[in-house]
Amino acid sequence: GNPARRTSVLALYMYDTAFRGAPKYPLANAISTFMVAFSFLLIIITKLVEKRFGGREE
């Protein structure tokens, strides 16, 4: 992200950490693992809210 990478997103930061400059693969791996776990958590929360409040409309 620009300007001066102040608006960078987590996925871009992970890529830069892994492949630009001195690679830091363990840190990039930890970031990607966090992103996947957070995504699954959001999916579970969405499904629970949908189940609780979203029922079928007949």
Q: How many CB atoms lie within 10 A of CB 55?
A: 8
Give the pLDDT score at 56: 62
User: For position 3, what pLDDT does the model report?
Assistant: 73
Please report, for the chain, the start and end positions of each structural domain, with discontinuous segments joined by +.
10-53
Q: Distance between terminal CA atoms of the chain?
A: 46
Measured distance CA(25)–CA(16) in Å, rounded: 10
Per-residue pLDDT of the chain in tens (58 residues, 90 and over written 9): 567 767 788 899 999 999 998 999 999 999 999 999 999 999 999 999 999 888 666 5
SS3 (DSSP) at 31: helix
The span from the CA of 41 to the CA of 47, in Å, is 10
| Single pTM value for the model | 0.74
In the prediction, which pLDDT does 46 show? 93
**pLDDT recorded at residue 1:** 54
How far apart CA 37 and CA 45 sit, in angstroms, is: 12
pLDDT of residue 25: 94
